[in-house]
Chains A and B, each alone.
Chain A
Amino acid sequence: MTKPGSHAEREGSQAELIRRSLKRRYRKERRFRLYGITAISIALFSLVILFTDIISKGYTGFIKTTVTLEVHLDDDLMYLNDASDPEQIAMADFQAPIIKALQGYFPQATSRADMRELSRMTGSYASNQVRDMLKANPDWLGTTRTIEFPAHDTVSVYVKHSGDPGYSIRLSEQQQRWTDELLSKGVIDTGFNDVFFTSGDSREPSNAGILGALVGSLLTMGITLVIAFPVGVAAAIYLEEFAPSNRLTDFIEVNINNLAAVPSIIFGLLGLAVFIGLFGMPRSVPVVGGLVLALMTLPTIIISSRAAIKSVPPSIREAAEGIGASKMQVVLHHVLPLAMPGMLTGSIIGMAQALGETAPLLLIGMVAFIVEIPDGFFSSATVLPVQIFIWAGSAEQGFVELASAGIMVLLAFLITMNAFAIWLRKRLERRW
């Protein structure tokens, strides 16, 4: 027997049940959303941390510390009476006048230990700088000249991070006092680090620059572009337009997809075994680096070029064929120009990847210490990311700063390239 209204009652209790469960379910819903937001926040937070870390570590790399001294180029002090005689130049002591000039500020620093500390106020190449000056102008001997020296790495780090005790440990207390005094007198000064953009690598952070690596990257990328772009586009055209559907075509496609996912270091092994081992090409040269990176970027370019060709509507092809164009004419005169923006975008992105690539280049020897700016495709060179790697592994704080500064330069290039690719896509790509 059922009482009247029990049905409604049951329904009511069920509705009550649902209402109560709804609360729980909505809570779950909110929690789920929160997870999502947390995940995104973690990712974005990492991005922010990464960039602030690099910038805070690296902005000092763009600052140089200089010591400007009135150096009296005294012949007796240097054991030199004829600056045009190479033998005398080779034997002379060019550190002495610098120390003398510094002693002008600190007359009490005369002991051997003090002199050694004084000589470590300017960079280790300061004496070479004096030597080169005298070599170029032998008649300067005996005169007094105002010379701007790069400060020693430890002094430079101390000046850039003044007030932070963590950065002064490698400087003696006496040197710190001297530095502070010279700073207040304006002898030690900081300025924009032009050396960083105008010189190659060096054993001394204050003399090291990124130009060599930049030129190396440019040469390497040149080879990569010249090989990867035409070959990639041609391969994409073949696969999209001409390839018969048979096993060979399938095999090519499988190969391309797999190559796109092969770790980059494997391409380094390929370069080492084939280009250097088999063909006897020299190590550390942009040609080999460019070839390896070209093989590495090729799948990316082929895949994006195929997508670009695919996006050209069939009506264009049919119209061209309808007025009697041959297959090749359809492709070269109509499809290719319309697909070109997409192909260029993909290629720029591929080139940006190649520009940031390090691992394969380590294996083919582009990790050598190279001071000269490379002057050709066959001269020893290194590239930006490898230079960053080399500097990041150095013990001196000065090099770590340079590494972060180098990273900023590299990122600036990558962002520019990617922005250009996006602009190109927005500007030129047609929607059908």
Chain B
Amino acid sequence: MQTADLLPLVLVLAAVAYGFAYMRSRAVAAPLGGISNLKALPAYYAARAALWCAIPALVILGAWAAFEGKVIQNIVMASLPTELTPQSAGHASLTLSQISNLAAGKLNPAMVPDGISSAAVLLQELREHSSNFKSLLVVLIAVLGGTFAWTRVAPTINARKSVELTLQRLFFVCAAVAILTTIGIVFSVIFETVRFFGKVPMSEFLFGTNWSPQTALRADQVGSEGAFGVIPLFTGTLMISAIALLIAVPVGLLSAVYLSEYASPRMRSVVKPLLEMLAGVPTVVYGFFAALTVAPFIRDLALMLGLEASSQSALAAGLVMGIMIIPFVSSLSDDVINAVPRSLRDGSLALGATQSETMKNVIFPAALPGIMGGILLAASRAIGETMIVVMAAGLAANLTANPLDSVTTVTVQIVTLLTGDQEFDSAKTLAAFALGMMLFIVTLLLNVIALKVVRKYREQYD
């Protein structure tokens, strides 16, 4: 049976366990003179039985499903005769897909060596065995667990306490998923990054000014080395982010100021949701807009002015990214401005300052740390943004300061390196993980600093 079928089966078993334990607890209570003589309500005995039935079975099922594929793969690969044992990771994945295609009947057995076809038979067998074993084990554990809890329905046992404790622990496990995710992210980038730095020295990566990751397929081809200097990617990312912030910060900030100080409640209630709509538009839509409308427009405009512009200019990507983060800046600034105490504002107005003077001389300085925090968050968002730049910025790693030129960014390179055919341990693939690590560290730092600044600022007035 497949995992997808076992899952409902376990749930059904848990429901059955619930029913049986419920009936038994009532039966146990009846001669004692009703359920008030039990330590817990029948529903708790029943829930305990359901938990005993479901949790161990689901844990086994999850673990099995997670590692089944990998274990079977390794056994099958180990079964290959020595002359077919793959030499490189690329060859290994090719062989593996050949075997699994053969097993799925998509490939004619006559077209591959004998070793491969017997491996395919083995794969098929192992899959069946694994599936049978898994089903048997899961059902057995579920039934055993349920039965055990069923036998332990007794008036002296407080089922409520154990159910509540189990639930609380379950809740904790769910909260710990956040930690697991972070650990997962760190480890998934760190291993590959270390392997990458084993192939390419770190100094070359960090300070090199030449990025061309296309390693050749054969060693004797021209340019087989590949260059992994990350500087052009950084400058590209910085340029596009800077253009975006140049648009988003003034527009977002001034909108927030106007909405919080001048706008009538009615205008506010119309404009604010409209601004937030900009934040809800998926990034792929912005990418489409940037690549097919803004970029050609900018190129034509530049041509009209007698300038040379690439059809994938940094300016187009930056402009559209700026539009995307306007609502981000404006809603953060709005929060910060509203957090400035009323008394400061009233005091300034009472002294005869105009609203704009109050804004510029009193509220803005008071809100500045919070606004800076918001800008940092916006910057981290701009640096990590992917789809707009993938669609509208180029692939060529130019080291340039001209916004009409085409530049590439860290995120574009990650996507380019990891989509399409790849060998898992070529320097090219590993480079993507190294870039991912840089991106993770930079955005994490920006976020931590920004959150600290904002929190400190809030404490000041709370």
Contact = CB atoms under 8 A, between A and B. Distances in A.
A50 B319 CA distance: 13
B257 to A, nearest CB: 6
B214 interface: no
Contact of A238 (B174, B291, B360): B174
B359 A234 contact: no
B70 A279 contact: yes
B171 A269 contact: no
A223 B330 CA distance: 33
B209 interface: no
Contacts of A428: none
Given A359-B386, A389-B391, A28 B356 contact: yes
B217 interface: no
B288 A392 contact: yes
Contacts of A242: 168, 171-172
B270 to A, nearest CB: 10
B181 A235 contact: no
B171 A270 contact: no
A359 B176 contact: no
Given A238-B174, A265-B386, A326 B282 contact: no
A362 B287 CA distance: 14
Interface string B271-306: 100110110111111111101110000000000000
B327 to A, nearest CB: 8
A359 B411 contact: yes
Interface stretch (A70-78, A178-186, A294-302, A339-347): A294-302
A26 B380 CA distance: 38
B448 A258 contact: yes
B178 to A, nearest CB: 4
A268 B355 CA distance: 47
Interface in A6-50: 25-26, 28-29, 32-33, 35-40, 42-44, 46-47, 50
A224 to B, nearest CB: 14
Contacts of B283: 356-359
Interface residues of A, number: 91
Interface string A240-274: 00110000000110011111011111111110111
B282 A357 contact: yes
A359 B415 contact: yes
Contacts of A404: 288
The residue among A35, A39, A252 with the most chain B CB atoms within 10 A of its own CB is: A39
B285 A362 contact: no
A261 B377 contact: yes
Given A53-B289, A278-B70, A280-B73, A243 B386 contact: no
Contacts of A188: none
Give chain A's interface secondary structure class.
helix
Interface stretch (B52-60, B183-191, B338-346): B183-191
Contact of A328 (B167, B182, B281, B326): B167
A101 to B, nearest CB: 37
Nearest to B354: A29
Given A39-B250, A53-B293, A388-B284, A265 B424 contact: no
B274 A47 contact: yes
B285 A234 contact: no
A414 interface: yes
Given A273-B189, A302-B178, A407-B288, A264 B356 contact: no
A352 interface: yes
A279 B73 CA distance: 11
Contact of A36 (B191, B257, B411, B419): B257
Contact of B188 (A234, A274, A376, A407): A274
A89 interface: no
Nearest to B183: A255
A186 B187 CA distance: 64
B179 A255 contact: yes
Contact of A261 (B251, B271, B380, B418): B380
A55 to B, nearest CB: 12
Interface in B183-234: 184-185, 187-189, 191-192
Interface stretch (B18-26, B121-129, B141-149, B432-440): B432-440
A36 B255 contact: yes
Contacts of A311: none
Contacts of A42: 251
Given A328-B164, A389-B391, A274 B411 contact: no
Contacts of B181: 255, 259, 270, 295, 298
A43 B275 contact: yes
B431 interface: no
Given A40-B271, A266-B185, 14 more contacts: A43-B326, A43-B330, A44-B274, A47-B278, A235-B174, A242-B172, A261-B377, A261-B380, A263-B385, A263-B411, A266-B436, A356-B282, A359-B386, A392-B287
11 contacts: A43-B327, A47-B277, A54-B288, A234-B170, A242-B168, A263-B383, A265-B386, A266-B443, A269-B433, A295-B181, A359-B415
CB-CB nearest 5 A-B residue pairs: A263-B384, A36-B258, A356-B282, A273-B188, A280-B69
Interface of A: 25-26, 28-29, 32-33, 35-40, 42-44, 46-47, 50, 53-54, 57, 230-232, 234-235, 237-239, 242-243, 251-252, 255-259, 261-270, 272-274, 277-282, 295, 298-299, 302, 326-328, 352, 355-359, 362-363, 365, 367, 376-378, 385-386, 388-389, 392-393, 400, 403-404, 407, 410-411, 414, 418
